A and B are shown apart, each in its own frame.
Chain A
Amino acid sequence: MSATVRGDVLAEPVLRTENLTKRFGGLVAVDNLSITLAGGRVHAIIGPNGAGKTTFFNLVTGLLSPDSGRIFFRGRDITGARPHVISRLGIKRTLQVKSVFPDLSVADNLWITRQARNRFLHAFRPAARDTETRLRVEETLEQIGLADLAARPAGTLSYGDVAMLEIGMAIISEPSLLLLDEPTCGMSPAETARAVGKIRELSRTIDLVIIEHDMDVVFGIADDITVLAQGAILASGGPAAIAEDERVREAYLGRPEDEDFVEEALNA
């Protein structure tokens, strides 16, 4: 199924890297990576552990600086910019290990995420009086189905609810590009279905890049797939082409215990 309901492939790629390289000591995590992601499509990045997927996200969001190469977001050079600057340009992400504000209430997690889009935080006006933000928070709570848990500290939520809260934080920040790092990792099948539904909904208005190990999820929502191995592109293309690619099968999909879902993927 295709998620390109928007269909407006912009002339300017949403994200482009030129010869991006990041080394950790002797290990080359991202190796001379040149990648172009067009707008209006859902991109999945897959690859075996240690392929450099999360490092790639860390480079794009400014948590790491590349050793060489450049990163362009909608034509703008963001190489080496600090994380909050990149975030304010509209690139938001979720983390592989779910990351929220554990001592803040669920509502406050969303509240501060919304407020963080502003350049200045008011120092003396009561936060509770900000009706516009409050309404946005209420709306988002309904959207992610956490309205009943609004006053609970986020640290006391179940794993699946924390993941939904992270997605809610992504929604309320109105990103123009959203990077999802293994959004369904550790979720039950029911929670995965719920999250995938939300992600598919998001993809109608937001450019998405998703790192995912669950091939059902990948083949279910991605328009384009890039396979990374040892920090470089092994293959890229549509889901069908990737599933049939021999090198991909060998490097990643072809492990014996994974044979089944190659079949599944082909049938999907």
Chain B
Amino acid sequence: MRRRSLEIVLAMVGGTFLISVPWVIPALIDSFWVSVITEILIWSLFASSVNLLFGYVGLLSFGQALYFGFGMYGVALGIDHLGLSFWPAFGLGIFSAMAMALVSGVFAVRLSSHYFAIITVVFSLIFYFLAVSDKPLTGGDDGINFSLPPLFSFDGKVFSLTDPTLQYFFVLAVVSLCLFLMHRVINSPLGKGFLAVRDNDLRASLIGLNVYVLRLIAFVMAGCLTGVSGALFAFFGRYASASYMFYQVSGEAVVWTIVGGAGTLFGPLVGTALFIVIREIVSSHWEHHSLIVGLLAILAVIFAPKGIVGLWNGWVNRPGEREAPRPVPQPLTLQAEP
């Protein structure tokens, strides 16, 4: 009971905060922080793809930046080269990321543990160098800029993401929808299958689960989350650049996820928020801010292997104080930790 009500309060506070950001933040701090929070939401979706693979299926991918890049370039090339409007470009970004995830996943998910990690890096490096060298198409490290097509027009009025408030709510809506869908998947039979594969792939195959196909489905789903975040980031920055396909970008998402809490729905959001806020506050005073990132990552791995959200869940679930142990009917199918 205690845990449930605490979480409801927390969800209401968090929800209210997120909805009030465009008005509260400029009034209290600076409107610049609205765009920081927008960025946090986008990157947390990126980290969620690492979380889906690592936290729920047991695959540690160090190559998610590849699909992020495909999401970005799908949007940028769609608008700049093909002259697509907003929604088709968005769709093209997501589709290219998923298609690339399917192609590389067919090979990658045959492997486990560190072999899988290595092949994901290799794939992303290959395409990173291709993207950097093919300057006419991708603009290389400089990237390509484009101007934003309108989101929609209604009654003669044109709405576009150039309005920071609309942009913020658009990103919030898309990220919330993705996390909601991920939540649904995790608590579905398919999600239980993912967990079984993560826990013991040998046993999973012996009870009749097709481990290869389950991993491939998860990999393409993760590619979809990554593609959405890459597309959002392209809209947010109005450009796409090969530098976002570098494996360091993938590595950051792994750190954010592990520190925030792998295998929990909101872990990546917490980790991403923490590190981006640190970066924004510290980097203007001190150029070695990544030392803090490293230190926090080490501390988390040693003292909070389940991340910040894992610590929280452990604290909330700790054996109750004075409550007499009553025979409560146990829920048979436990919900995944939020």
- Taking the complex as formed, is A130 at the interface, i.e. its CB lies under 8 A from any CB of chain B? yes
Docked CA distance A137–B334 (Å): 13
Q: Are B195 and A103 in contact (CB under 8 A)?
A: yes
Number of residues in B with C-beta < 8 Å to the partner?
Answer: 32
Question: Using Cβ atoms and an 8 Å threshold, which residues of chain B touch A111?
Answer: 192, 332-333
- Taking the complex as formed, is B211 at the interface, i.e. its CB lies under 8 A from any CB of chain A? yes
Contact with A along B198-217 (1 / 0, CB 8 A): 11101111111111001000
| Min C-beta distance of B54 to chain A, whole Å | 14
Question: Using Cβ atoms and an 8 Å threshold, which residues of chain B touch A266?
Answer: none
| Min C-beta distance of B185 to chain A, whole Å | 6
Question: Using Cβ atoms and an 8 Å threshold, which residues of chain A touch B109?
Answer: none
Question: Using Cβ atoms and an 8 Å threshold, which residues of chain A touch B333?
Answer: 107-108, 111, 127-128, 130, 134
Q: Are B330 and A84 in contact (CB under 8 A)?
A: no
- Given A100-B200, A103-B195, A121 and B332 touching (CB < 8 A)? no
- Taking the complex as formed, is B63 at the interface, i.e. its CB lies under 8 A from any CB of chain A? no
Question: Using Cβ atoms and an 8 Å threshold, which residues of chain A touch B188?
Answer: 121-127
- Taking the complex as formed, is A105 at the interface, i.e. its CB lies under 8 A from any CB of chain B? yes
Question: Using Cβ atoms and an 8 Å threshold, which residues of chain A touch B332?
Answer: 107, 111, 128, 134, 137-138, 150
- Given A102-B200, A107-B333, A134-B333, A87 and B192 touching (CB < 8 A)? no
Docked CA distance A102–B202 (Å): 13
Contact with B along A78-99 (1 / 0, CB 8 A): 0000111001100011010001
- Taking the complex as formed, is A176 at the interface, i.e. its CB lies under 8 A from any CB of chain B? no
- Given A99-B202, A151-B331, A124 and B184 touching (CB < 8 A)? yes
B210 touches which one: A61, A84, A107, A125 (CB < 8 A)? A84
Docked CA distance A103–B208 (Å): 19
B189 touches which one: A83, A84, A115, A151 (CB < 8 A)? A115
Which residues of B from 166 to 187 have beta carbons under 8 Å from A? Answer: 181, 184-185, 187
- Taking the complex as formed, is B20 at the interface, i.e. its CB lies under 8 A from any CB of chain A? no
A107 and chain B: residue at smallest CB distance: B332
- Taking the complex as formed, is B196 at the interface, i.e. its CB lies under 8 A from any CB of chain A? yes
Question: Using Cβ atoms and an 8 Å threshold, which residues of chain B touch A130?
Answer: 189, 333
Secondary structure at the A interface, as helix, strand, loop or mixed, is loop
| Min C-beta distance of A182 to chain B, whole Å | 16
A61 and chain B: residue at smallest CB distance: B206
- Given A112-B192, A137-B332, A138-B332, A87 and B184 touching (CB < 8 A)? no
Question: Using Cβ atoms and an 8 Å threshold, which residues of chain B touch A112?
Answer: 189, 192-193, 195-196, 207, 209
Question: Using Cβ atoms and an 8 Å threshold, which residues of chain B touch A121?
Answer: 188-190, 192-193, 214
A141 and chain B: residue at smallest CB distance: B332
Q: Are B191 and A127 in contact (CB under 8 A)?
A: yes
- Taking the complex as formed, is B5 at the interface, i.e. its CB lies under 8 A from any CB of chain A? no
Docked CA distance A95–B331 (Å): 29
Question: Using Cβ atoms and an 8 Å threshold, which residues of chain B touch A126?
Answer: 184, 187-188
- Taking the complex as formed, is A101 at the interface, i.e. its CB lies under 8 A from any CB of chain B? yes
| Min C-beta distance of B263 to chain A, whole Å | 9
Interface centre among A88, A104, A137 (most CB of B within 10 A): A104
- Taking the complex as formed, is B335 at the interface, i.e. its CB lies under 8 A from any CB of chain A? yes
Question: Using Cβ atoms and an 8 Å threshold, which residues of chain A touch B185?
Answer: 123-124
Q: Are A116 and B187 in contact (CB under 8 A)?
A: no
- Given A122-B188, A127-B187, A128-B335, A92 and B206 touching (CB < 8 A)? yes
- Given A107-B333, A134-B332, A116 and B209 touching (CB < 8 A)? yes
- Taking the complex as formed, is A113 at the interface, i.e. its CB lies under 8 A from any CB of chain B? yes
| Min C-beta distance of B320 to chain A, whole Å | 15
- Taking the complex as formed, is A198 at the interface, i.e. its CB lies under 8 A from any CB of chain B? no
| Min C-beta distance of A15 to chain B, whole Å | 16
Q: Are A108 and B334 in contact (CB under 8 A)?
A: yes
Interface centre among B192, B195, B335 (most CB of A within 10 A): B192
| Min C-beta distance of A132 to chain B, whole Å | 12
| Min C-beta distance of A231 to chain B, whole Å | 23
Docked CA distance A214–B218 (Å): 43
A138 and chain B: residue at smallest CB distance: B332
- Taking the complex as formed, is A173 at the interface, i.e. its CB lies under 8 A from any CB of chain B? yes
Docked CA distance A111–B207 (Å): 11
- Taking the complex as formed, is A213 at the interface, i.e. its CB lies under 8 A from any CB of chain B? no
Q: Are A173 and B192 in contact (CB under 8 A)?
A: no
Question: Using Cβ atoms and an 8 Å threshold, which residues of chain A touch B199?
Answer: 101-104
- Taking the complex as formed, is A169 at the interface, i.e. its CB lies under 8 A from any CB of chain B? yes
Q: Are B334 and A105 in contact (CB under 8 A)?
A: yes
> What are 18 inter-chain pairs, A to B, with CB distance below 8 A?
A61-B206, A82-B210, A83-B205, A87-B206, A92-B207, A108-B192, A111-B192, A111-B332, A111-B333, A112-B192, A113-B207, A123-B188, A125-B189, A126-B184, A127-B189, A128-B187, A151-B330, A151-B331
- Going nearest first, the 10 A-B pairs with the smallest beta carbon separation are A87-B208, A101-B199, A83-B205, A121-B189, A121-B190, A116-B208, A151-B330, A116-B207, A123-B190, A128-B333
Binding site for A on B (CB under 8 A): 181, 184-185, 187-193, 195-196, 198-200, 202-211, 214, 330-335
